[in-house]
Amino acid sequence: MTAVTNANAAGHGTIRLVPNCNYDFTTAAETGTRGGDALPIITGNITIVGGPSTHIRRTGGGPFRLIEVAAGARLDVVGIFIEGGDAGVFPGGAILSARGTIVLKSVTVRNSTADNGAGIASDSGSLILILTLVEKNTTRHPNGFGGGGAGIYNDGRLETDQSRITRNTANTSGGGIYNEQGGTARLVQTTLDENTARFEGGGLLNGPGGRALLVRTLVKRNTASDGGGIFDRPGPGTVTLVGSLVTANNPNNCRPVGSIPGCS
């Protein structure tokens, strides 16, 4: 997309997409060390505005994600459906941040696949979701391993506000969110529901070194082999609930027993 290339060259810019328009991609515009991307990698401070009903979609061709943000860069996206990405054996099916900053407002990220972070992967970056939906994303890997964080993988800074992570499926752990390795996740007025993990943490998997704070957040009807709602792996890291409800998850709500105060 020429507009992205020009904004990168200028170091900043706002790109306004056409309402009720589909921006469909069948080939990658750029290929980096973590697979191909539909758009040129974001290297500046760029805002992309769409809506109503503006879509950025992968509609065929080989595996490639839709958007990647480089270290030190920032991308704000407003009012766009981002869907159908496929990063193959790499992270970030729809969106990948490699130590960059991403802010999504009134955005839907859906129907994407990757090894981990099928919807969004934040690799030591900052990810902020406002009024945003992350749904129906699926992790997979040819050898059957990997595959964590179907909705979101985070080992940086994650903040959500009035958002929903739903109906994502992980072939290992963390159906909705996988937070680890020093990652901080602050979920405010957010719903994690109907996500599925093959192993642990249907709604949320908090790995060693991860810290998760859930404020007025609902974790409901998620499924995993253990910790259907939330699984907090042993090691440095904590999960804290403030005015939040973890309920009706399968086969249980929180594990290990007693690891998350206020959740049974």
Residue 192 lies in a domain: no
The first and second tokens of residue 217, run together, are: 């957040």
Secondary structure class of 10 (helix, strand, coil):
helix
Residue 248 lies in a domain: no
Number of CB atoms found within 10 A of residue 167's CB:
21
Residue 209 lies in a domain: no
Output the pLDDT for position 234: 86
Domain boundaries, position 107: 2-182
- Beta partners for residue 205, in sequence order: 178, 231
* Structural domain count of the chain: 1
Residue 262 lies in a domain: no
Residue 196 lies in a domain: no
Rounded-to-5 percentages of helix, strand, coil across the chain: 5, 45, 50
Residue 41 lies in a domain: yes
Task: Summarize pLDDT for 145-165 with one digit per residue, the tens.
Answer: 677 999 999 999 999 999 999
Per the listing, tokens 């642990």 go with 200
Secondary structure class of 127 (helix, strand, coil):
strand
- Beta partners for residue 231, in sequence order: 205, 255
Q: Does the pLDDT value for residue 16 go beyond 90?
A: yes
Q: 51 or 117: which carries more pLDDT confidence?
A: 117
Residue 85 lies in a domain: yes
Q: What is the pTM of this model?
A: 0.97
Residue 224 lies in a domain: no
Write the CA distances from 228 to 13, 75, 210, 238, 239, integer angstroms: 43, 33, 18, 17, 15
Mean pLDDT for 106-132 is 97
